[in-house]
Chain A
Amino acid sequence: MDEPVKVLLIEDDVRVRELYELVLKMDEYQVVTAETGEEGLEKAKTENPDLIFLDIRLPGINGLEVLEALRQDDRTAAIPVVILSNLDDEKTISRGVSLGALEYVVKSRITPQDLSKRVKDYHKKPSH
């Protein structure tokens, strides 16, 4: 039996979190959430998610710093990360991609349902 895919959602706005959590759960994914970058890094190590959705604007350390930290830690380096942010300037986008994000998605240009549909494509179960 396949374990349901586990998604870690790092997003500080509670309303956005609730919405994405709802949609992902409706599509039968397991969802873990974090309100801050620090909490996100912790949960990435302890919860072992299959995919991380990462916001950029966070209190404390920002999303790009989180991404950098994820890549530097062996335990989390292989987890695919999709940046989910409303910031859409050239500089931030290219930095995110160069730091190893799988994709940079601008929230205002996509619906939660469409994003959820993409989860299957984003996550690749690591081969044992």
Chain B
Amino acid sequence: MLTTASQLVYHKREAMPRNLNPQQFKSFVKTARNMTDELVALFDAQAVGCWLLDSDTTSSLIAESLSQKSLKTTSPWRRQLARESADLVSGTYKFYISDHSSDIIDTFTLKSTAVTNALVYPLGPPTHINGVIVILNIPDWDNATQQIAHYLDTHLSQDWQSQLQQFQLQRQVEEMTDQSRQWQAIYNGVKESIVLLNLKGTVLTVNPATELITGRKADSVIGKHVGELFPKVGPMGNGINYLGPSGLYQTLQERRPSDLFEAIVETKDKRHIWVNYTYTPLWDGNGKMMGMVRVTSDVSTIKNVEQMKNDFVSIASHELRTPLGVINGYLNLFLGGQLGHLTQDQQTFLERIYHSSSDMSALVEDLLNISRIEAGKLEVTVQSFDLEPLIDEVVNHLEPRFQSKVIKVKLKSATEPIRLRADRHKLERALTNIIDNAIKYTYDNGTISIVVRVNDGQAQIAVKDTGVGIKPEHIGHIFEKFYRENNPLSIREGGSGLGLYISRKLVELHGGTITVASQHQKGSVFTISLPLTIKKYT
């Protein structure tokens, strides 16, 4: 006796589609029911099940129909059968046939039923199994399978298939609307400013946070250049004192996400606030850049704390200069013999005091420079000058240091003189630090070679030493403030651990870089790269 049970089944209430047309659904079920009945009749199968499944998880049943002659079934079994069947065919998108000799049967964990064979037929498009038809225990197995396949191919009407697809699409649109609502919530709710720009840097849309940060209303800035939305003011009020390529340039010209930038910008009511920002390119489906997104955060609070710390360092360093000056002053008088004759011991010990005092003075100067760099107060005076004479100057200045360790210096110049536009005093300091560093870490009787050349629009100065080198675990850290590896030479030579940090900052101010390559016990190469032209893009 044939029994057919068919019903709308929702595995989870949430799985029920909201915009569903109940009629549509009922018609699915009706068709499924008819089909399962027919299949049982035609092929004398013991049971035929047809299950429609949720698109994103095959564990959610949407509708089912099960016609059976005398197979005892219980509800969980049916669901499992549907799930496992869908899993079987979803990878391969073929229908599965098996007879009792196959272990496929074993995956159907059937209770109190002897399943001798099964045919599993997938429903829906290949990318998206949305249902299965399972036919169990077909007599005359060998002949029947072909016929069944043929039957299903022809009888699963186009109409039904397209209805299924429509149903799936509906679900997808709902999901997208949900997602779209999620994105909308994010766009509206974050406290970071998100600004959409076209390829000219003109503002297309802004999120609500943008007005909160800048005080400028959306309709007053749309259509204007992004520089008007976030006008930069330097701490000295003289605009940009960073000479390298701007974020906008990096993204527009180099077609890449920009670095993270920091700047002081002026709000509508003339307040000055610190912000972080980046630019990211937006691509259309064909790999063409169609616009940019700028994300800007107000970091005033963090900066205020940093500023207080920095001001403290700055004030303290300034105050230290005075007493240090007095100490050095008197020491100089003693050591110069102007305060009377000194015994050998007195001379020696006073010299030791003088060395420590000099170290302190150098540290104070470094701290002051760092506090200026970090406050963005480092002024940059740009001039045109030739590079090689500057290097000669630095080498001459360091002559006593070279001599005291009997280190040879070799200078290899570029084929043509290199003319730079940069802050000469700052580059002099950076070069001095790097070369002094090389001297520090080279043993007596070593060699330091300095090679100057032009490479790919950049002036490169490579300082190579034959010294102790840097261990791999330290290389990533040597440019950090106060970093000193546990190296006997570095402890003996002293120094504040700030030289490399300062040098890098000074070079980066020009849009350049310092890189290092090193081999432990063989030596290191520090390469300073400086762009030959200053690119200014606001």
Residues of B within 8 A of A13 (CB): 322
Chain A residue with Cβ nearest B330: A19
Which A residues touch B338, using CB under 8 A?
26, 113
List of B residues within 8 angstroms of A86 by Cβ: 318, 321-322, 325
Stretch at the interface among A46-54, A66-74, A104-112, A117-125: A104-112
Q: In the assembly, what is the distance between CA of A127 and CA of B429, in Å?
A: 44
Give complex CA distance A125, B336 in Å.
30
**Per-position 1/0 for B347-382, Cβ under 8 A of A:** 000000000000001000100000000000001010
Confirm or deny: B185 has a beta carbon within 8 angstroms of a beta carbon on chain A: no
Within 313-332 of B, Cβ neighbours of A (below 8 Å) are at 318, 321-326, 328-330, 332
Q: Does B190 contact A (CB under 8 A)?
A: no
* A: interface residue count bin: 10 to 19
Q: Which residue of the partner chain, among B321, B379, B381, contacts A107 with CB atoms under 8 Å?
A: B321
The answer to whether A16 and B322 touch (CB under 8 A), given A26-B338, A108-B365, is yes
Contact of A111 among B321, B323, B329, B381 (CB under 8 A): B329
For the complex of A and B, list the 9 residue pairs with the smallest distance between their C-beta atoms, beginning with the closest: A19-B329, A15-B326, A112-B329, A86-B321, A108-B321, A111-B332, A19-B326, A90-B379, A107-B325
Residues of B with C-beta under 8 A to A112: 329, 332-333
How many whole Å from B496's CB to the nearest CB in chain A?
Answer: 16
Q: What is the distance, in angstroms, from A40's C-beta to the closest C-beta of chain B?
A: 18
Q: How far is the CA of A107 from the CA of B328 in the complex (A)?
A: 11
Name the B residues within 8 Å of A41 (CB-CB). Answer: none
Task: Give Cα A107 to B361, complex, Å.
Answer: 12
- The answer to whether A15 and B323 touch (CB under 8 A), given A108-B361, A113-B332, is yes
Q: Does A23 contact B (CB under 8 A)?
A: yes
17 of the cross-chain contacts (CB-CB < 8 Å) are A19-B326, A19-B329, A23-B329, A26-B338, A86-B321, A86-B322, A86-B325, A89-B379, A90-B381, A107-B321, A107-B322, A107-B325, A111-B328, A112-B329, A113-B332, A113-B333, A113-B336
In the complex the two chains form, is A23's CB within 8 Å of B333's CB? yes
Beyond the given pairs A26-B338, A90-B381, A113-B336, 10 more chain A to chain B contacts, judged by CB atoms under 8 angstroms and listed by A's residue number, are A13-B322, A16-B325, A16-B326, A19-B326, A19-B329, A23-B333, A86-B325, A111-B332, A113-B332, A113-B333
| B111-150 Cβ-contact flags toward A at 8 Å (1 or 0) | 0000000000000000000000000000000000000000
In whole Å, how far is B324's beta carbon from the nearest beta carbon of chain A? 8
Question: Chain A at the B interface: mostly helix, strand, loop or mixed?
Answer: helix
| In contact, B325 and A108 (Cβ under 8 angstroms) | yes
| CB contact list, A10-49 vs B, under 8 A | 13, 15-16, 19, 22-23, 26
- Interface size (B, Cβ < 8 Å)? 18
What are the residues of chain A within 8 A of B381 when measuring CB–CB?
90
**Contact partners of A89 in chain B: CB under 8 A:** 379
Summed over the interface, the residue pairs from A and B with CB atoms below 8 Å come to a total of 39
In the assembled complex, which residues on chain A have CB atoms less than 8 Å from the CB atom of B365? 108
A15 to B328, CA, bound (A): 12
Question: B374: shortest Cβ distance to chain A, in Å?
Answer: 16
A95 to chain B, nearest CB (A): 14
Which residue on chain B has the smallest CB distance to residue A18? Answer: B326
- B336 / chain A contacts, CB cutoff of 8 Å: 113
CB distance from B28 to the nearest CB of A (A): 81
With CB as the reference atom, state the residue of chain B lying closest to A20.
B329
Q: How far is the CB of A93 from chain B (nearest CB, A)?
A: 11
Chain A contacts for B323, CB-based, 8 A: 15
In the assembled complex, the Cα of A90 lies from the Cα of B321 at a distance in Å of 19
Residues of B within 8 A of A107 (CB): 321-322, 325
Chain B's nearest CB lies how many Å from the CB of A76?
27
Set of chain A residues within 8 Å of B361, measured between Cβ atoms:
108
Q: Specify which chain A residues have a CB less than 8 angstroms from the CB of B326 in the assembled complex.
A: 15-16, 19
Considering only CB atoms, which chain A residue lies closest to B324 in the complex? Answer: A108
How far apart sit A15 and B325, CA to CA, in the bound complex (Å)?
10
Task: Compute how far the CA of A113 lies from the CA of B332 in the bound complex, rounded to whole angstroms.
Answer: 8
Q: Which residues of the partner chain B approach A90 to less than 8 Å between Cβ atoms?
A: 379, 381
Q: Closest B-chain residue to A17, C-beta based?
A: B326
CB distance from B529 to the nearest CB of A (A): 27
B330 CB contacts on chain A under 8 angstroms:
19
Q: Within residues 252 to 296 of chain B, which ones have a CB less than 8 A from any CB in chain A? A: none
Please measure, in the bound complex, the distance between the C-alpha atom of A126 and the C-alpha atom of B332, giving whole angstroms.
33
Interface string of A80-119 (1 = CB under 8 A from B): 0000001001100000000000000001100111000000
Per the bound structure, the CA–CA distance linking A89 and B323 in Å amounts to 20
CB distance from B44 to the nearest CB of A (A): 100
Shortest CB-to-CB span from B344 to chain A, Å, is 23
A19 to B334, CA, bound (A): 12
Q: How far is the CB of B80 from chain A (nearest CB, A)?
A: 80
Nearest Cβ on chain A to B338's Cβ, whole angstroms: 6
